[in-house]
Amino acid sequence: MNMPDPQAFASAWMQSNPLAAMMQDAGLQIKPEAMEQLKNDYLRDFGALWQEFISGKAPAISDRRFNSAAWQGNPMSAFNAAAYLLNARFLNAMVETVEATPQQKQKIRFAVQQIIDAMSPANFLATNPEAQQKLIETKGESLTRGLANMLGDMGKGHISLSDESAFEVGRNLAMTEGTVVYENPLFQLIQYKPQTETVNQVPLLMVPPCINKFYILDLQPENSLVRYAVEQGNTVFLISWSNPDKSLAQTTWDDYVEEGVIKAIRVTQGITGEDKLNMFGFCVGGTLASTALAVLAARGEQVANSLTLLTTFLDFRDTGVLDVFVDEAQVAIREQQLKAGGLMPGRDLASTFSSLRPNDLVWNYVQSNYLKGNDPAAFDLLFWNSDSTNLPGPMFCWYLRNTYLENQLKTGKLVVAGEKVDLRKIEAPAFIYGSREDHIVPWPSAYDSLAILPGKTRFVLGASGHIAGVINSPVKNKRSYWINDGGKAKNAEAWLEGATEQKGSWWPEWAGFLNDHGGKKVKPKAKPGNATYTPIEPAPGRYVKVKAD
C-alpha cells in the first residue's frame, strides 16, 4: 500500500481550501507574508500529526465532540478528528490575515465557522465511530430509528431538540395560576392570582419579547420567574403576544407600542386603580417597554415607578454576532419583501438564532437523533426554543432599520405613535441585567443602557447566556452573579473590575429592588379584573398556544 505524501496533501489542500475561494469571489486579499507563514506552520503541524499517526501514537484531542473512547481508541478516527481540528485552526487563523473592514471580517469569520462546524467528522456516519459502533450493537436498528427521526423532523420543519410529546402549555408549562382579563388582536393580558397575604401596592407589568412565547418566564414551578415574582408579594400582570397570522400582516412597531404596551398599561391601571407601575421588559420586550414609556413621557405622563430591563438593547452600537445578518443590502431586501405587509416566518427566525450556536443547537442533534437513532430528552427550555413565533413584516423591518442598522432609538429623533422618543425623559429608577456569555445581547451593550436612562440605576451581571442566565431560579442555587455597589462606572469593563462575584441566583437582588419600589403593603384584591375588564379565560390563555405556520 502506497502511503500519501503528507506535504503534497497539505499543499494541495492549502491551494484549494474554501476560504481562499471565498476571498477570491469577494474580491478580498490575504496578506502574502502572513499567508506564507501560515502555510509553513500548517505543513509543519500536519507533518507532525502524520508522523504520530504512522508511528501509532494517538494525537491529543481536547474537543468534547471527540473525547469518547470510540474516537480516542480508534487510530484512524482520532487522526481524522485531529486533522479536522488542525484545518479548523488554520481556517480561523487565515481569516485574521484577510485585508477587510471589521464588519467584513466578522461576516467572513461567521461564514467560515459555519463551514467548519458543518464539516466535522462527527456529523457523518462514515466518519463517526460512535454512530458506527451503535449501528453494529443494535444490528441496524439505530439507523432505522435515525431515519424515522429525520423524516419526522422534515415533516415538522425543524430539528427536534426535546421530546415534544413531554410538554403541553397549560398542562406542565405556564402553570402559574391567573386569568386573562383583556385581549385585542395583538395580545392578551394575564393577571396572576396573588399568593401572599399582602402585596406591594404598586403592580408589576411584565413585557416579554414578541419574538417568542412568554412562557420562557413561566416554564415549570421551580424555574418560573413569574411565579417567583408573585411569591415575593407582587400583583403581576403579563402580556401574552399573539402569534401573528395574515390578519396582522400590516402591523407596525407603532402598533406594538400603542395598541400593545401602552394599552396593557392602561388596563393594568384601570384594574388596580394605581397610576404608577413597576415596568419589566425582557430582550425586545424591554426595548418595546422603554419606547412606550418614552412615548408617554412625551405626552406628559410618567407611569413607571421603576423599570426592569433584562438582556435588553437600548443602544445598538454593538450587537455582537447578530451584526452579520444586518447591513444595508440585507435590510433593503427584507424591506422589499415585507415592509408593505407580510409575515417574517418564525421558522426563519429560529434558524437564524440556531446558526449562532450550530454545534449546540443543530449538529449535536443531527449526531444524536439521526446518526445514532436516539430520541431527544425532555427539556422544557429547548421545547420552548422550538415553539416559533411569526412577526409582522412592517414591524420587523422598522425594528431592523431603526435599531440594529442605524441605532436611532437612543438619539431622541425617532417618532413613534406620533411622539418623539427620548429615552432620557423616562423618570424612573432602573434595574438593568446582563448575562456574561450572552451572544444575542452582549452584556456591555446591556450595560450601555445606564448611560441613557437618567434615573438611579442598578446593574447586575449574571453568569451563562441569554436565556439560561435569566432563568436561574434560587431553588437550584446554581451559577453566580456580579454586583458593584460603587454605582455607574465609565464603561462595562471598569464596572466589572470593581464588581464582586456572588454565588447563586440574582433573582433575590431583583426582588429586593421591586420591594423597594413597591409602595406600601396592602391586601390583594379577591377577584381578577373589574367591571370594565372582566375575566375571559384562565391563564395561560389561547394566544400562547397558537403555533406558527
Annotated catalytic residues are 283
Checking DSSP bridges between strand 457-462 and strand 199-200, what pairing results, if any? unpaired
C-alpha cell at 58: 494517538
d(CA 530, CA 238): 17
* Cα–Cα dist 60/85, whole Å: 11
**How far is it, in rounded angstroms, from Cα 23 to Cα 11?**
18
Q: Cα angle vertex 217, ends 215, 219, to 5°?
A: 60
How many whole angstroms separate alpha carbon 413 and alpha carbon 423?
Answer: 10
Cα–Cα distance for residue pair 204/308, rounded to 1 Å: 10
Rounded CA gap, 208 and 523, in Å?
27
Bond preceding residue 524 cis, omega within 30 of 0: no
Residues in CB range of 198: below 8 A, 6 or more apart: 233, 521, 522, 523, 524
CA 77 to chain centre: 34
Phi and psi, residue 319, nearest 5°: -100, 15
> CA dist 39 to 13, 17, 109, Å?
10, 12, 19
Do residues 484 and 495 make contact, with C-beta atoms less than 8 angstroms apart?
A: yes
Measure Cα distances from 286 to 155, 206, 211, 315 in Å: 35, 9, 12, 12
Q: Cα(13)–Cα(34) distance, rounded to whole angstroms?
A: 17
Per DSSP, the residues of 401-449 read IIIIIT--GGGT--EETTEE--GGG--S-EEEEEETT-SSS-HHHHHGG
Q: What angle do CA 316, 319, 321 make, to 5 degrees?
A: 165
**Maximum separation of any 2 CA atoms in the chain, in Å:** 88
Strands of 500-503's sheet in order across: 500-503, 480-483, 457-462, 430-435, 304-310, 277-282, 204-207, 236-241, 187-192, 178-183, 537-538
